[in-house]
Amino acid sequence: MPDHWGFVAAAYAVAAVALGGYWRRLVRLERDLEAPRLRAVGSRRRAAPRS
Amino acid sequence: MVTIVLGWLSAIAVATGMILALLIAPRELTQGNVQRIMYVHVPSVWVAYLAFTVVFAASIVYLAKRAPGADRLAHASAEVGVVFTGITIVTGAIWGKPTWGTWWTWDARLTSVAILFVMYVGYLLVRAMIDEPERGARYAAVLGIVAALDIPLVHFSVYWWRTLHQPPSVIKPGPATMPGVILLALLLNFAAFTLLYAYFVTKRVSLLRADADAAA
Amino acid sequence: MSFARRTWAIVWKDVLVERRSKETVNAVLFFSVLLLFIFEFTLGADRERLAAVLPGLLWLGVLLAGLLGLGRSFVLERENDCWEALLLTPGDKGAVYVGKLCGNLLLMALVEVVMVTLFTLLMNVEVGRALPGLVLVLALGTLGIAAIGTLFGAMTAHVRARELLFPVLLLPVLVPVLLATVKATEALLLGEPLAAVAHWLKLLGAADVIYVATGLLVFDAVLEG
């Protein structure tokens, strides 16, 4: 039976893309969570009155 | 932190698993090298079932105790489970094309997994489409329990639908008896994918927690 | 108030409301008859093929009618601010679940009687000896559909896109029931004895027990707020 390495490559590529894609999503979510928090900390410091 | 350790461990494990699967494991006799897809397809379905079992348990805990941690665990595990289920289906189809001649057959396993996929996508939809987070968590938990209880029913019904009164005309993928190296490669990939699942879930749970803290 | 009395109160209320408005019953019955026409138009030319797909068509009709009727089973309470009244039901909310379930079963039974009658008349189906077995399959299958349908109906009553979410949730979960009922109906209509479909009947029985038990156990959580 012929070897169909193309199919093997396709299957592994699909898995890699799916898992990599999910990992990228997690990283992006993490970045989005950090960014507004840093901005909020900055604005709070600016808004608080210096006595 | 646990997450980072898990991340590196799983990366190493997956890499090792891939080397074993693609280079070290022997070429299979009847199917040829296409059979190597098994090393991705089978561990994926294993992780999917693991993920949905965790969803089941966490959902029960959430309904009983209303612990937000249980809700986050269920949510994360369902997400990761859907990813691995999708991988199972697509790799199964890719494996099927050269082996059986068509991209899709209503083979018992593929059909069961496809139904699983749709059920848990529905779970994620419930979370996405209900605005009040507390209600969404409750309803998702109910669905997580119902879907998990349905799994054995799906299995039996689909299997009987496919096999009774029908001559087995489909070659089941995977070798009947497993020589040592193939078994080792498969087991290692099981472990690697499970580690990857654990990493993804841990990270997702911490992100959900941070999200909840930020909203509070 | 005992469980049975509370259950009966819900059933009686729904039956009364339905008897006056006839909203749901009419719509669902009409829809089922319409389905029959469509089946005949699309598949009727080839009588043999029609006979082969008949079990599937019958259950497709039951399922689609169920989607209509079950999805609406809690909409009435939601629209008329009666949801809080449901919440205030004393004791275990399981009585609300069983009450709603019984109401839904009555509705579906009515639809099925009409459908099976019309099927046999319009499509010349030989039911005869298979009837008792058929009734059993219909009963077991309908209970499964209604059990999950009532639970999910309560859950989706508050969701914006209820008409979308309800079928999306319901259909995958009900695949085992659908497979079992269609296969059993097919065998029975071909003249096979009840013993030949025993495994399907057992699966349906198991599904019914699991679904109803789960509904009873989680309904308190569903009805909150």
pLDDT in tens, C155-185: 998 888 888 899 999 999 999 999 999 999 9
Q: Do C203 and B157 count as a contact with CB atoms less than 8 A apart?
A: yes
Tokens of A27: 């990283």
Mean pLDDT of B187-213: 93
Among the listed residues C35, C108, A16, C80, the one whose alpha carbon sits nearest the alpha carbon of residue B90: A16
Q: Is the ipTM of this complex over 0.90?
A: no
Interface size A-B, in CB pairs within 8 Å, comes to: 71
Domain range summary for chain B, segments of one domain joined by +: 2-215
User: Over pLDDT 70: what percentage of chain C?
Assistant: 98
| Identity of the residue in B37, B86, B203 whose CB atom sits nearest the CB atom of A11 | B37
Query: Is residue B118 pLDDT above 70, yes or no?
Result: yes
Rounded to whole angstroms, the Cα distance separating C153 from C99 reads 13
**Banded model confidence at residue B44, pLDDT cuts 50, 70, 90:** very high
Give mean pLDDT, residues C93-113.
90
pLDDT in tens, B63-91: 999 999 999 999 999 999 999 999 999 99
C22: left (phi over 0), alpha (psi -120 to 50) or beta: left
Give pLDDT tens digits for B161-180. Answer: 887 654 333 444 444 566 77
A18 contacts in chain B (CB < 8 Å): 83, 86-87, 90
Q: 């990761």: which residue's tokens?
A: B80
Q: Where are the alpha helices (DSSP H) in B106-177?
A: 108-129, 133-163
Q: What is the mean pLDDT of chain B?
A: 87
CA distance B18 to chain C (A): 34
pLDDT tens, position by position, A1-51: 566 788 888 999 999 999 999 999 999 998 888 876 566 555 555 544 554
Query: Are the Cβ atoms of A8 and B34 closer than 8 angstroms?
Result: yes
Distances in Å between the Cα of B32 and the Cα atoms of A20, B23, B24, B37 are: 28, 13, 14, 11
CB proximity list for B174: less than 8 A, separation 6 or greater:
B35, B38, B42
Q: How confident is the model at residue B127 (pLDDT cuts 50, 70, 90)?
A: very high
DSSP state of A50: P
A41 CB within 8 Å of a chain B CB = no
Q: Where are the domains of chain C?
A: 3-223
Residues of C in contact with B85 (CB under 8 A): none
Q: To the nearest whole angstrom, how far is the Cα of C53 from the nearest Cα of chain B?
A: 15
Structure tokens at C162: 């209820």
pLDDT value for C204: 96
